[in-house]
Structure 1
C-alpha cells in the first residue's frame, strides 16, 4: 500500500484529470467555481459583484475574465435579478453540480487508513 504522501499525489492527479474533463485548466477557475457552488449550497445569493470582489483570488479584471470563461464552459450562468434588473446573480449549472459530484466521489473513494 502506498504511503500517505503518494496517496495524496495519486488523489491530486485524479482531481486534475476530473478538472481537465471539465476544461478547468486554471486554479482561479476552480476557486471561483467553488465559491459559486458554496454560496449555492448555503442558499446564499451570489451576485456578479460578490464574485468580482473576491480579491483574495485575483484582480477584478482577472475575475471578470474567469467568470466569462466559466460561463462559456457552461459551468456557471448569470441571471438578472427579478427585483432589480441592474443586478445579476451567478449560479452553478447542472454541469457544475456534476463536477462537484465527481470531485466528491473521488474524495469518498479514496482508501481509508
Structure 2
C-alpha cells in the first residue's frame, strides 16, 4: 500500500489503522480488498472527508491519498510529506509536529 498525504492546516486528528486492504480511519473501516488489478474507485464513491482523489490498485499495490491534518505547530515533514510506502499492518505512523513551547515573558512560568 502507498499512502500519499495531502497536508491541510486543521485542528482535528486522524488515526489510521491498516489491516491488509482495510483502512480504519478514526474508527470507521474502509475495505478495498475487492479491488482488482487496474481498478479505480472514484473519490465520489467514498463517504469520508479524509480521502483526496481516487483509490487505485496498481499491480499488487493500493494507492490512495489521505488528508494529513496539520496542527498550528506543524513540522516541515508535515508540510511537505513524503509518500508512505509498503505500509505495514497496524497503526499508520504520520510525521510528527514540532514540540510546542510556550514562553510567558515577565516572570511567568514556561511550558
Between Structure 1 and Structure 2, the one with more helix by share is 1
- TM surpasses 0.5: no
TM score, norm. by length of structure 2: 0.29
Between Structure 1 and Structure 2, the one with more strand by share is 2
Structure of higher RCO (CA pairs closer than 8 Å, 6+ residues apart): 2
Rg larger for = 2
